[in-house]
Structure 1
Amino acid sequence: MIILLSAAIAPGLALFSYFYLRNQMATEPRRTLVHTFLYGAFLTFPIMFLQYVLTEEGVFPNAFLQNVLFTSTIEEFFKWFVLLIAIYNHMEFDDPYDGLLYGASISLGFATVENVLYLLSFGLDTAFLRALLPVSSHALFGVVMGYYFGKAKFSKHTKLKEMIAMALCAPVILHILYNTILSFKGHWVYLMVPFMLFLWWFGLRKVKLAHYHLVQHLHMHKKI
């Protein structure tokens, strides 16, 4: 059991540590990040319950609508909504890179609990593949979401509502693409490899841009 839990939790912690340590200019309070991680972890259960109820009620006419469109949208919406109401106006969200950290944190909280439940059901044989795909993809969806939240709050040259909308729409689109590829039986791996390479490139580009905005933000405050 300890080995299984370690295998389920380790990928999320490793990915979060990577994004956290990239922030060399300022240190975000660990307590707030832990709270955000826990928000994501707790979200797993109402989302799974909602998915179960709607499935049992036969709301969805086909598997694509249920497993791709609905699942992708509802997961990202709940994470976006919690960040918007609980974190966006928080006093400790005080620089552009913070959004990225909070986005990664809430996504990895969700992905970690989901991973624990999955490995408890199907065993350790799938641990490596899940670390490469669901856990890392959730982390990168969160990075993209958090980047746009940071841009909405701290960029003077962007429209607030547009960036907050992008914080939801961008990860939803990426998540839909990810789940669409998984829905292809037999040949999904040939599409997943280039998609994951693109997702890592896109996510790391947002990390680089968020770090640049952080440097600009700190430089501006030094002048003041």
Structure 2
Amino acid sequence: MPALDPRAILDARPTGRPSVGVIVAIAVSSVCLLVALVMTSAEGPTFLEGLLLALLPLPLLLAGVLALDRLEPEPPDALVLAFLWGAGISVLVAMGINTAGLTLLWTPLLGQEEGFVATAVLTAPVVEETLKALVLVGMLWFRRHELNGPTDGIIYGSMVGLGFATVENIHYYTTAGPDGLAVTFVARGLLSPLVHPLCTSLTGLGIATAALAPRGWARVWPVLLGLLGAMTYHALWNAAPSFGIVPVLAVYLLGLGIVVGLLVVVRADRARIVALIGQHLPQYGPLGVVALPDVVMLTSLARRRRARAQVRAAAGPGPARAMRDYQQAATELAMLHRRLDRGLVDRAAFERQRGPLLALMLAARGVFTPLWRPEAPPR
């Protein structure tokens, strides 16, 4: 029997390595990122300071986004692609289009100052949100199985937005000059670091909704609504400073409301996944891949974490990885059942994906079961 490749099984692909398409997209995005950085470095004397300030909050922001991804972690290559697409292709192309619009359209029509406002309010939201959305649409087309619910769309949208915001902030910090650098950092790095991730999360939410919908317009309208929401909030954010402090506060509060709404959606999605695990996994008890203590453990993030820690303390990282693979395979199996119930996969595809997941769960369970003492079920 050939050795199991957990990464390939969990990602539902032939091998655990990234596909050629993903590698090419990452490479192109990386080149675009380098070009954008070179162009930005020539715009002001504070490039290094701007680079450091833009990177300063990034670990915390990434940790916050990835904390949403604990129940059903997304493939690392897909997360890297989403971030680099936002930081590279989206930024570079947007710089060209926005500059062309300002130079060729808005400045001749309105003058330099009003033209800049028109570019920020009318051109930039449409251009930037469309460019950021392209990678999410690509996932809907080529890797729809990765979009198992609204949380996935929010995570991928946030990663694209973080990439875009990081490089855009480098530009703003670099061109602010020494006198305006501190004010710009407070405004963009401390008060509004989530604007781009927030906007693109709305697009991602629409994309994820479309991934769970049947073919036809049921897949189109969520994408359009999500993109429209992203463009609208982006435009409101850019327009508000032109009208005074009250509109700025109103748009800021609207953004906080959207953040709270997205967190409520994530919480509800997590509860849905837990319910799917409890609904579908007990039927596999006779196969030896799951028992009641396993289901109890799988339906709580805290109990999952404690189980991994217990196994790691007893026997090291190898068995702990087996426990982690078991947890993720069980979650993927529950969501695969949901896709079958909704008619998103046929029976043949379901069987092709279910078999390797069960094999991985059985093999992983054989590794960690002798090392794990299950917790008592909650009353």
What band does the TM-score fall into relative to the shorter chain?
Answer: 0.7 to 0.9
Aligned-partner residue type, residue 72 of structure 1: P
* TM-score (ref. length: structure 2): 0.53
Task: Tell me if structure 2 keeps the 8 A contact 1:41–1:111.
Answer: yes
Name the CA distance, whole Å, in 2 between partners of 1:151 and 1:12. 28
* Residue aligning to 2:347: none
Offset from partner CA, 1:29-82 (integer Å, 9 cap, x none) = 222211110000111111111111232223563335322111111111111122
Aligned match of 2:258: 202
> Which one of the candidate residues 89, 105, 117 is aligned to 1:58?
105
Q: How does 1:1-224 map to 2 (within 5 A)?
A: 3-42=49-88, 43-58=90-105, 61-62=109-110, 63=115, 64-86=117-139, 89-90=142-143, 93-96=146-149, 97-123=151-177, 124-125=181-182, 126-154=184-212, 159-184=218-243, 187=244, 189-217=245-273, 219-220=275-276, 223=280, 224=337
Task: Give the conservation status (yes or no) of the 8 Å contact 2:68–2:266.
Answer: no
Q: Distance in 2 between matches of 1:23 and 1:208?
A: 15
In structure 2, C-alpha distance between the alignment counterparts of 1:72 and 1:128, rounded to whole Å: 22
Q: CA deviation at 1:92?
A: 6.2
| Contact 1:143–1:203 (CA under 8 A) maintained in structure 2 | no
* Partner AA of 2:222 in structure 1: M
Contact 1:144 1:171 in 2 (8 A): yes
Contact 2:140/2:211 (<8 A) preserved: no
* Structure with bigger RCO (C-alpha 8 Å, 6+ apart): 1
Shift of 1:86: 4.2
Unmatched runs of 5 consecutive residues or more in structure 2: 1-46, 281-336, 338-379
CA distance 1:13–1:149, change in 2 (3 Å):
farther
Larger Rg: 2
**Alignment size in residue pairs:** 220
Closer/same/farther in 2, CA of residues 93 and 175 from structure 1, 3 Å limit: same
Shift of residue 89, structure 1, vs aligned partner: 3.4
Which ranges of structure 1 fall in alignment gaps of 5 or more residues? none
Sequence identity percentage: 23
Q: CA deviation at 1:21?
A: 0.6
Matched position secondary structure for 2:146:
coil
CA contact (8 A) 1:36 1:106 kept: yes
Q: Is the 8 A contact 2:140 2:207 kept in 1?
A: no
Q: Conserved in 2, the CA contact under 8 Å of 1:145 and 1:171?
A: yes
Q: CA deviation at 1:172?
A: 0.7
